Structure 1
Amino acid sequence: MLFGKKTTYVSEITQFIDELKTKNPKLEESQRAGRALLWDKEPLDLDKTARDKASRVAQQPYVYQSH
């Protein structure tokens, strides 16, 4: 009976991710550790950033043009 059952659709991708998480329970923890390693850095030093920006030499519009 189609109308009697209430089923929810779960995509293949969601099923795959759920299965992956059950096989490796520490997956999310290792993902967070990887993110912290690459992305979560200390706050920017605004004075250093301003000094770096001010000390840059402007590039010519056409790099290979001689003076």
Structure 2
Amino acid sequence: MAIVKVIEIMATSDNSFEDAINNALKEASKTVKNIKSIYVKDMNGKVEENRIVSYGVTTKVSFVVTH
């Protein structure tokens, strides 16, 4: 039986929500192996002068724990 662990990762991007999600996955993959999925829990944007200047996401990354 496989054991799956879930961690929460927050990430940002100056370009897009998609880029922020990829940044979360990129950072998680530096220390976590066997990543199986990523779930976007929350999205937000920082606004200056009626323009989005930063995109943020909170994600849940799941991975299989190995012995």
Q: TM-score, normalised by structure 1?
A: 0.22
The higher relative CO (CA closer than 8 Å, separation ≥ 6) is in: 2
Name the larger-Rg structure. Answer: 1
**Comparing both structures, which one devotes a greater share of its residues to helix?**
1
**Comparing both structures, which one devotes a greater share of its residues to strand?**
2
Q: TM-score, normalised by structure 2?
A: 0.22
